[in-house]
Structure 1
């Protein structure tokens, strides 16, 4: 029983510690494609000018994270003519989160003053609710990969996540979220 409790505790701790990397990821790919044959890729750019939604630093963070993930799988970036053509697309939407806190105050209290009318008194209880509204941005990054020869799509991955407002935190979260997405890629990282 203690062993089961330890395992459940470890699982809950792991979920709690990794919850800050919360990103919804999805991927689909052409099951008939042999992904192991690809050794190079070229970045064909951002679709529909979606890169204008990003500052140059975040663009670099995203492309560096993708490059790192693909290189760990033996697929190297080349300027032009890669065996895989990669396009990126980004959307950003504003979302609102509402949080309500209710404080309840019971109607009991001590009554009495200088020896007169001692005892406990009862009265009406009261409750107050405070509602706070938080606006934040949610970004969706879509990565499309095409076979450069056949021009057919071979893989698509998308990731939706809250956008971190702190730049130094984005340095850490973007690679972690990209790693989570690329776990859906058919080729696993090479063992060092």
Structure 2
């Protein structure tokens, strides 16, 4: 089973619904929300998402220190859903943080976690080239983040029209080879 899963897709592709469905068999579910509520429309979106998720989730708002929040929330047998990487990238750019350094810290942290983590991110590189420098920077940073997280993840899923497509499959656990002593014991 995968420990870290990256779920990619476009806006309204069904990626969040798919990511949330991966949590159904876990009792301890934590939702790390990266969105900063800056206006009434964003508040309505957040409230709608919470209602759709239903009960059984602990929600933590984490606009910047994602690696720290993951370390704090990590529990063996637990499930953490990060929604979403592209909003986190936006926050880092807005607050003038070093995106590359934060991304490296996130990838290093993912390698050390004990529980199950699902990261949701938008694939923003399938459209036209943005017409301004800030939008191009965002697209580039998001693309680099998705590539780095795909390497760090055990499994990568792309969702289009609500249909999940596996891009990277988790490797099954390695089977232990019997030692020479155990082979001799079986021969008898």
What TM-score bracket applies, with the shorter chain setting the length? under 0.3
TM-score, length-normalised on structure 1? 0.21
TM-score, length-normalised on structure 2? 0.22
Q: Could you say which structure has the higher helix fraction?
A: 2
Q: Could you say which structure has the higher strand fraction?
A: 1
Name which structure has the greater RCO, CA cutoff 8 Å, separation 6+: 2
Which of 1 and 2 has greater Rg? 1
